[in-house]
């Protein structure tokens, strides 16, 4: 499902805001996106000839559900299935993303947003970067790209991940690493690129298992890209480094300036009327795209020890540090086991609440109600000190070059199976923990 099919759906549902007056990508557009709480918004005049800009594409769970042809509860099972059975995409000879070819591209003519006055420059934020590793094959992942000139970016490439590993091999061999940067990719491709499957597993094969993802050969690099993208920048990650940043991260706090690899752009291909996808750093799209792809592994880890019904990595914890896990409880230890498994399933998780399957895990007030009525801190709290944790948590123990450490906390807010003296509760007593609900009362 291409980005433009999403826009047609969002418009038909009355979800899409359309702004036809000129809006400047430098500072003005980010404010406008933010003010709309990331409702899908199309800027038809971003003051860059031929381009339109869209934002808010991935800002709601329902958008992912639409893209995968399912409901909110069906997203995680679909992701688990695609991870289990990746399917290599078919190559097509002609691609919408190559309708126009520009061998002398100028990045200044693209509507690349500068989000905040303190940013190091204009930043591409929703690009899927495709590279090939000589040992592990194709890798698709996100890299924020700070524009440093008309043909160049400084790319944030996190150490030890797929792109970094391949780039280091190329540098050691005295070569640049070819890269294809996809702009305006379909939602299911964004989702697949944000996943971290085992080394050697092709994210585009995961995308293709989620929805058909035909690919086309690039023109100047030996790589393939999803044909339905809006535009593709073809180029090389060089051995040269340049300062990248400042820029705000998932936490909505400033990330530091680091020397990062420079990318040179040699060719731009695009649709006749390309749409540029802008994603607000630290915004809802950023958060959901980070957290949602971790839900399948979290779910699977809990399912190994308990009857897991659903998981939600929640927006209040930046869709990264906090989760709610819903289980059908069959024994007294299920809640505690689910807590321990959740930390195994998502290594960056810091706090988790486990609830029963009568609690809506997408409703923070319902989760708080479960904590208020089913949880006793001296019995149902799990605290694990000094655990390997997320470097994104400013309150963690952060030593440069070392794994971040933090305390982890799990709250078992499921219906207790014993009372405070240790006596096993009867089924009737456990029933007493359920909400009565007015819907069961007959009309007065």
Q: Which of residues 144-203 bind ligand FMN (CB under 6 A)?
A: 144, 156-158, 161-163, 194-196
Residue 346 beta carbon to ligand FMN: minimum distance, rounded to whole angstroms: 13
Q: What number of other Cβ atoms are within 10 A of residue 369's Cβ?
A: 16
Residue 195 beta carbon to ligand FMN: minimum distance, rounded to whole angstroms: 6
Residue 281 beta carbon to ligand FMN: minimum distance, rounded to whole angstroms: 8
Helices 61-68 and 3-12, axial angle in degrees (round to 10): 120
For position 277 contacting ligand FMN by CB under 6 A, the verdict is no
Angle in degrees, CA 7, 13, 19, rounded to 5:
55
- For ligand FMN, the nearest residue by Cβ is 162
Query: Which residue number, 139 or 148, has a Cβ lying nearer to ligand FMN?
Result: 139
Write each residue from 281 to 300 as x if it is in contact with ligand FMN (CB under 6 A), else as -, in one continuous string: -----x--xx----------
Q: Report the alpha-carbon distance of residue 243 to residue 233 in Å, rounded.
A: 21
Active-site residue numbers?
Answer: 249
For position 142 contacting ligand FMN by CB under 6 A, the verdict is yes
Beta bridge partners of 217: 224
Residue 62 beta carbon to ligand FMN: minimum distance, rounded to whole angstroms: 18
Number of chain residues interacting with ligand FMN (CB under 6 A): 18
Query: Which residue number, 141 or 414, has a Cβ lying nearer to ligand FMN?
Result: 141
Q: Report the alpha-carbon distance of residue 114 to residue 30 in Å, rounded.
A: 8
**Residues 75-79: contacts with CB within 8 Å, 24+ apart?**
75/292, 75/295, 76/295, 76/296, 76/299, 76/310, 76/311, 78/210, 79/191, 79/195, 79/210, 79/292, 79/293, 79/295, 79/296
- CB-based contacts of 284, cutoff 8 Å, min separation 6: 37, 38, 56, 58, 59, 60, 315
For position 258 contacting ligand FMN by CB under 6 A, the verdict is no
Alpha helices in 55-108 (DSSP H): 61-68, 75-84
Query: Which residue number, 95 or 181, has a Cβ lying nearer to ligand FMN?
Result: 181
Query: Which residue number, 33 or 359, has a Cβ lying nearer to ligand FMN?
Result: 33
Q: Which of residues 343-382 bind ligand FMN (CB under 6 A)?
A: none
Residue 140 beta carbon to ligand FMN: minimum distance, rounded to whole angstroms: 8
Q: Report the alpha-carbon distance of residue 390 to residue 162 in Å, rounded.
A: 19
Residue 163 beta carbon to ligand FMN: minimum distance, rounded to whole angstroms: 5
Query: Which residue number, 1 or 127, has a Cβ lying nearer to ligand FMN?
Result: 127
Write each residue from 100 to 139 as x if it is in contact with ligand FMN (CB under 6 A), else as -, in one continuous string: ---------------------------------------x
Query: What strands, in cross-sheet order, belong to the sheet with 307-313?
Result: 307-313, 322-328, 351-356, 405-412, 381-388
Query: Which residue number, 260 or 414, has a Cβ lying nearer to ligand FMN?
Result: 260
Query: Which residue number, 159 or 378, has a Cβ lying nearer to ligand FMN?
Result: 159
Residue 196 beta carbon to ligand FMN: minimum distance, rounded to whole angstroms: 4
CA distance readout (Å), 252 to 189, 219, 236, 249, 406: 25, 38, 30, 5, 20
CA distance readout (Å), 397 to 101, 159, 347, 382, 393: 49, 19, 15, 20, 9
- Residues near ligand FMN (CB under 6 A): 139, 141-144, 156-158, 161-163, 194-196, 279, 286, 289-290
């Amino acid at each position: 499902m291409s980005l433009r099919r999403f826009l047609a759906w969002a418009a038909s549902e009355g979800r899409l805001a359309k702004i036809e007056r000129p809006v400047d990508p430098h500072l003005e557009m980010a404010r406008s996106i933010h003010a709309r709480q990331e409702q899908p918004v199309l800027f038809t005049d971003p003051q860059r000839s031929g381009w339109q800009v869209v934002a808010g594409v991935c800002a709601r769970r329902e958008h992912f559900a639409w893209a995968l042809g399912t409901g909110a509860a069906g997203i995680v099972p679909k992701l688990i299935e695609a991870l289990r059975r990746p399917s290599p995409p078919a190559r097509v000879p002609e691609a919408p993303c190559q309708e126009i070819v520009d061998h002398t591209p100028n990045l200044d003519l693209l509507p690349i947003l500068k989000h905040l006055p303190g940013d190091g420059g204009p930043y591409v934020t929703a690009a899927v970067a495709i590279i090939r590793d000589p040992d592990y094959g194709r890798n698709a992942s996100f890299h924020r790209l700070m524009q440093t000139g008309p043909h160049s970016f400084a790319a944030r490439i996190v150490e030890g991940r797929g792109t970094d590993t391949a780039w280091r091999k190329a540098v050691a061999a005295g070569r640049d690493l070819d890269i294809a940067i996809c702009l305006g990719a379909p939602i299911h491709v964004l989702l697949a690129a944000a996943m971290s499957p085992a080394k050697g597993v092709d994210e585009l094969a995961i995308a293709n298992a989620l929805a058909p993802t035909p690919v086309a050969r690039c023109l100047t690099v030996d790589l393939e890209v999803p044909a339905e993208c809006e535009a593709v920048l073809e180029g090389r990650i060089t051995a040269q480094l340049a300062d990248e940043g400042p820029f705000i991260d998932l936490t909505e706090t400033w990330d530091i300036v680091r020397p990062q690899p420079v990318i040179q752009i040699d060719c731009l291909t695009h649709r006749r009327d390309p749409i540029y996808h802008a994603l607000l750093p630290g915004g809802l799209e950023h958060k959901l795209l980070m957290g949602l792809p971790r839900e399948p592994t979290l779910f699977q880890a809990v399912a190994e020890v308990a009857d897991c019904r659903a998981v939600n990595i929640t927006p209040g914890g930046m869709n990264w540090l906090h989760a709610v896990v819903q289980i059908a409880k069959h024994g007294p230890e299920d809640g505690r086991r689910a807590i321990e498994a959740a930390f195994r399933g998502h290594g960056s998780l810091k706090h988790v609440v486990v609830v029963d399957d009568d609690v809506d895990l997408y409703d923070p007030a319902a989760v708080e109600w479960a904590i208020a009525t089913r949880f006793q801190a001296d019995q149902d709290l799990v605290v694990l000190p000094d655990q390997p944790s997320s470097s994104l948590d400013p309150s963690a123990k952060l030593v440069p070059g070392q794994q971040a450490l933090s305390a982890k906390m799990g709250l078992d807010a499921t219906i207790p199976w014993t009372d405070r003296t240790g006596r096993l509760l009867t089924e009737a007593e456990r029933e007493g923990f359920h909400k009565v609900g007015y819907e069961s009362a007959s009309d007065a």
